[in-house]
Amino acid sequence: MLKIFNSLSKKVEEFVPLEKRKVGMYACGPTVYDYPHIGHGRKYVNDDVLKRVLEVVEGLGVKHVQNITDVGHLVSDADEGEDKLEKGAKKAGKTVWEVAQEFTDYFLKEMDSLNIIRPDVQCKATDHISEQIELIKRIMDKGYAYDTPEAVYFDVTKFPDYGKLFGQALEDKLVGVREEVVTKNSKRNPVDFALWFKRVGKFAEHAMHWDSPWGDGFPGWHIECSAMSMKYLGDQFDIHTGGEDHLSIHHPNEIAQSEAATGKKPFVKYWFHSLFLAVDGKKMSKSLGNVYKVADIIEKGFSPMALRYYYLSAHYRKQMNFSWEGMEGVSNSYKKMKKEFLALRLEGGQDKNIFGAAAEASLSGRGVFFRDEFVKAVEDDLNMSAAIAVSRTVLKDEKLKDFEKRRLVENFDRVFGLKLSERDEIPADIPAEVMEMVNKREEMRKNKQWAESDALRKEIKIKGYKISDFFDGVTVEKL
């Protein structure tokens, strides 16, 4: 049985879904005002791994919903500063709608390149304004929110548990909230948060705005996640994910407003938070020039799957440190693992499921042992580095037959998502002369002319290219 850390209870808990065999999972998506970076990649790969474990190993059906924040997220999570989308649009000299579309497309492309399975529902905040208004109405009807000339605010004093959620002291949430803002906005309490901003004052020119019972305006950032998660997953669901930055403001706010509206506890059963990725031990920042995109990793000659392997090597509850040296190292480990795997004979049926009791009869005793070691690792709060170590041991094992090794690791890769069985394409920029030699050598190998093919490999190397042989063909790379 899967055990997972629940950041609300701060304990590792057994995972038991609310409904038999079905899991509802909501992930806080990106704010699409700028390029996504490899820190985002880490968070969404961690979500993807959790989902794959639930589906592949636990045999559960997961409905995965992820939002796209295209309105309402201010520079500070505590309702201060500009709207991030407006800021992005100003910088790019484009409309907010153009900026949102452009970065949404870019985000999806980068996440695809990391082999993240797309969520079943990807919902935009701007497509769900009426749902957000309805939810705010419910919250107001229950007496948890109040109207002011500038915004509708959630009254946290009406929600007695608010200060205790995720163990964050109320005073910590006050960091960055200035006293004069409180008076100006007529917030009753500095920690109260906006459900609906009105198009007045600093937002008088706000580009995205809609009619509402409280006047022309736009939703606060937090309400979209409650409205959309409940629309697609119901008032109560199993898993909610996010980065560690959401522990102090965004997620307590989601809980407070959702439970206030529905009167049901809990809104979410398990909270899954990924810690951040840092670069060379420092927070990524534009001024340090260390904000890398997946595209930058590819440009330096690394496979995005090697980056995914890097993510898997760090536990989701530990901060991960990225460095180019580290990238080089994991890229070599990834290539080695893939090479060992692809050298194993294909016989058909290697992808047949190995998980669950029914699969046992089709595995050797040793095969069952390694399968169980893998399951033990992933069920132990997603210990992916231990699961990778099991794969390495399997590939090196001297007693397992090649076919069973291939079957085990191919199944493990349904969780890793490392595309181990996809042989890398031969790059298009290999000179014709070298390609001719490569093809000639392939012919020789087919005819079992080993000495001649070895001699040709050496000639190819002198020309500056390296050949790797796999069971079903070769790849070529520049040395």
| 357: Cβ contacts below 8 Å, ≥ 6 apart | none
Please name which of 47, 417, 23, 16 lies closest in space to residue 246, comparing C-alpha atoms.
Answer: 47
| Residues in 331-360 that interact with ligand AMP by CB under 6 A | none
Residue nearest to ligand AMP (CB): 243
303 token code pair: 């496979």
Quickly list H helices, 216-285: 221-233, 250-262
Candidate list 4, 27, 28, 123; residue touching Zn ion; CB under 5 A: 28
Q: How many of the other CB atoms lie within 10 Å of CB of 362?
A: 14
Q: How far apart are CA 217 and CA 213, in angstroms?
A: 10
**Which helix (H) or strand (E) covers residue 82, if one does?**
strand 80-83
Candidate list 24, 217, 243, 304; residue touching ligand AMP; CB under 6 A: 243
Q: Does 284 bind ligand AMP (CB under 6 A)?
A: yes
Q: Does 250 bind ligand AMP (CB under 6 A)?
A: no
Piece in contact with ligand AMP (CB under 6 A), picked from 98-106, 229-237, 242-250, 336-344? 242-250
Collapsed DSSP state (helix, strand, coil) of residue 376 = helix
Query: 121: burial class by Cβ within 10 Å (0-12, 13-18, 19+)?
Result: middle
Candidate list 17, 30, 119, 217; residue touching ligand AMP; CB under 6 A: 30
Partner whose binding site includes residue 30, from Zn ion, ligand AMP, none (CB under 5 to 8 Å by kind): ligand AMP
Q: How far apart are CA 378 and CA 427, in angstroms?
A: 35
End-to-end CA distance of the chain: 46
Piece in contact with ligand AMP (CB under 6 A), picked from 164-172, 256-264, 270-278, 342-350? 270-278
Q: Does 39 bind ligand AMP (CB under 6 A)?
A: yes
Partner whose binding site includes residue 240, from ligand AMP, Zn ion, none (CB under 5 to 8 Å by kind): none
| Residues in 153-172 that interact with ligand AMP by CB under 6 A | none
Nearer to ligand AMP, 31 or 258 (CB): 31
Nearer to Zn ion, 271 or 311 (CB): 271
Q: Does 225 bind Zn ion (CB under 5 A)?
A: yes
In this structure, the chain runs to a length of 479
Please name which of 224, 184, 223, 216 lies closest in space to residue 200, comparing C-alpha atoms.
Answer: 216
Nearer to ligand AMP, 27 or 230 (CB): 27
Q: Residue with structure tokens 């790059």?
A: 427
Shortest reach from residue 8's CB to Zn ion, in Å = 15
| 374: Cβ contacts below 8 Å, ≥ 6 apart | 387, 390, 391, 408, 412
Q: Does 42 bind ligand AMP (CB under 6 A)?
A: yes
Candidate list 166, 276, 355, 403; residue touching ligand AMP; CB under 6 A: 276
Q: Does 28 bind ligand AMP (CB under 6 A)?
A: yes
Partner whose binding site includes residue 225, from Zn ion, ligand AMP, none (CB under 5 to 8 Å by kind): Zn ion
Candidate list 4, 15, 24, 43; residue touching ligand AMP; CB under 6 A: 43
Please name which of 89, 35, 127 lies closest in space to residue 205, comparing C-alpha atoms.
Answer: 89
Candidate list 245, 340, 380, 469; residue touching ligand AMP; CB under 6 A: 245
Q: How far apart are CA 299 and CA 441, in angstroms?
A: 30
Name the residues that contact ligand AMP, by CB under 6 A: 28, 30-31, 39-40, 42-43, 242-243, 245-246, 274, 276-277, 284
Name the residues that contact Zn ion, by CB under 5 A: 28, 225
